[in-house]
């Protein structure tokens, strides 16, 4: 199940990278090492085995979101307790034993973290986190890459399916005896005293709602758009 990175795809990406002036903001593949797992959706990645500080990248894994472990706020650092701890352990377990991994580099976010998908032996580790139940889909469709092709290219259907299956099986944060009551992005909004600022689409109905109405869309089906016109360009229609 899910997006796989084959040798042929890797070769194509590397050829394009070597023979064109590819912008850092465009997707490309890098091979390297996991220097450190910092939480359930963030790692330090390095293209050098000696972990030279000049070649390390802080990776925010895309299309998924795990419980917070150390969120900075005005009142100090906060987290989501054992949920964040278990998500961290799951990501470390999924990456354990792989000497090298591949990173689909998708450029930088506003915090200067590199956005990307991490692959180990061809398996999409971002997707594996959602399958484990220790992450939820957190799909942000933004900028030039946000169009009708985005969803197939990024295997968004796979993330939605993985979330539904993990919830049905009661894995991770979906454990009925100990469910996570507040999703990670809601936790961030509350503690950082921010209001929702992204339009939220429903992957099933292809409708989108205003930022404040995100709860109208099931957590496994949510697609976030930074601008209204991005949702429209992606083939979604306003539900208001």
Question: Which residues are designated catalytic?
Answer: 60, 68, 113
Dist CA 197 CA 188 (whole Å): 13
Dist CA 119 CA 100 (whole Å): 9
Residue 123 structure tokens: 């398996």
* 164 Cβ contact partners less than 8 Å away, ≥ 6 residues apart: 220
Dist CA 32 CA 137 (whole Å): 25
CB environment 13-27: b (16+ within 10 A), e (fewer): beeeeeeeeeeeeeb
- DSSP state, 206? -
R_g over Cα of the chain = 18
* 24 Cβ contact partners less than 8 Å away, ≥ 6 residues apart: 105, 107, 108
């Amino acid at each position: 199940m899910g997006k796989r990175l084959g040798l042929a795809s890797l070769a194509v990406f590397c050829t394009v990278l070597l023979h064109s002036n590819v912008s850092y903001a465009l997707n490309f593949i890098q091979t390297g090492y996991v220097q450190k797992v910092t939480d359930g959706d963030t790692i330090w990645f390095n293209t050098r085995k000696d972990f030279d500080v000049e070649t390390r990248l802080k990776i925010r894994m895309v299309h998924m979101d795990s419980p917070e472990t150390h969120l900075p706020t005005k009142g100090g650092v906060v987290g989501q307790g054992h949920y964040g701890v278990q998500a961290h352990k799951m990501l470390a377990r999924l990456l354990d034993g792989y000497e090298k991994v591949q990173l689909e580099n998708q450029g930088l976010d506003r915090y200067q973290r590199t956005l990307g998908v991490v692959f180990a032996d061809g398996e999409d580790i971002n997707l594996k986190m959602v399958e484990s139940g220790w992450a939820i889909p957190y799909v942000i469709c933004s900028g030039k890459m946000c169009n009708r092709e985005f969803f197939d290219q990024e295997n968004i259907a796979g993330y939605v399916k993985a979330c539904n299956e993990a919830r049905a099986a009661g894995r991770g944060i979906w454990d009925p005896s100990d469910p996570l009551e507040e999703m990670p992005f809601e936790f961030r909004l509350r503690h950082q005293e921010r209001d929702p600022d992204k339009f939220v689409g429903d992957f099933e109905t292809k409708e989108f709602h205003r930022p404040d109405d995100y709860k109208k869309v099931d957590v496994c089906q949510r697609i976030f758009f930074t601008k209204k016109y991005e949702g429209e360009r992606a083939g979604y229609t306003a539900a208001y």
